[in-house]
Amino acid sequence: GAVVSQHPSRVICKSGTSVKIECRSLDFQATTMFWYRQFPKKSLMLMATSNEGSKATYEQGVEKDKFLINHASLTLSTLTVTSAHPEDSSFYICSASPGQGGEQYFGPGTRLTVT
Amino acid sequence: QKEVEQNSGPLSVPEGAIASLNCTYSDRGSQSFFWYRQYSGKSPELIMFIYSNGDKEDGRFTAQLNKASQYVSLLIRDSQPSDSATYLCAVSPPPGNTGKLIFGQGTTLQVKP
């Protein structure tokens, strides 16, 4: 149980275009999902907390107009990187929590390359 | 002071030995504690969680929690080369938070055959 999927697993796009990443909890409902970014050999960095039916909560320094988050249902959250630039190239990972214990289960990640 | 601290390593142990990974946290009101394993190029995988003081064992893994010392550790017995990865300690802040976890920077473990 507690499986989280992400799509796509890898994407290459041109500078200035937008990319949408989907995160799904497959066998549980998640009122809260989280979006992280990780640069090579660096720590996980929490970008935002995605709340079903309400606005996402962004961490300090993360531009909410650039990283659009939508959590339309209890099993789906999407992250859209708008007007992507090469510095946005990174490994984007979502997570979801099925219960009150606080544990998070991670999706397999999306590797974004902006050329 | 970082909220969750880990020695980045690398920690190198021979195959079959016990690997001991340590983590300290700053918020005394923290409630839940997690260990994740992350292989290079992959996303983190939950391997253990612990809520109460003491030890919790699961197969070759033992998590130890000492809330008075604000310390949590992970022991891996009979270490295998396949255990070579980065181990992330994560802490759930006191109730009332959004549910987000605070992660340490991770300790890289190398198990040498």
With an 8 Å Cβ cutoff, the interface of chain A facing chain B consists of 32, 34, 43-44, 46, 49, 57, 93, 97, 101-109
Q: Label residue B1 by pLDDT band (50, 70, 90).
A: low
Q: Label residue B97 by pLDDT band (50, 70, 90).
A: low
Q: pLDDT tens digit string along B61-84? A: 999 999 999 999 999 999 999 999
- For residue B71, give the H/E element and its range: strand B71-76
Q: Counting beta carbons within 10 angstroms of the beta carbon of residue A46, is it exposed (0 to 12), middle (13 to 18) or buried (19 or more)?
A: middle
Percent of residues, chain A, with pLDDT higher than 90: 77
Contact B103 A44 (CB under 8 A): yes
- Using a CB-CB cut-off of 8 Å, the residues of chain A touching B103 are 43-44, 46
pLDDT for res A1: 65
Percent of residues, chain A, with pLDDT higher than 70: 97
Contact A108 B42 (CB under 8 A): yes
Q: pLDDT tens digit string along A34-87? A: 999 999 888 899 999 998 888 899 999 999 999 999 998 999 999 999 999 999
pLDDT for res B88: 97
According to the 3-state scheme, what is the secondary structure of chain A?
CCCEEEECCEEEECCCCCEEEEEEECCCCCCEEEEEEECCCCCCEEEEEEECCCCCEECCCCCCCCEEEEEEECCEEEEEECCCCHHHCEEEEEEECCCCCCCCEECCCEEEEEC
pLDDT for res B40: 94
pLDDT for res A31: 83
With an 8 Å Cβ cutoff, the interface of chain B facing chain A consists of 31-32, 34, 36, 42-46, 49, 51, 88, 90, 92, 98-101, 103-106
Contact B46 A104 (CB under 8 A): yes
Does residue A33 carry a pLDDT above 90?
yes
- Can you tell me which residue has the tokens 């107009």? A65
Q: Report the b/e string of A21-38 with b at 16+ CB within 10 A.
A: bbbbbeebebebbbbbbb
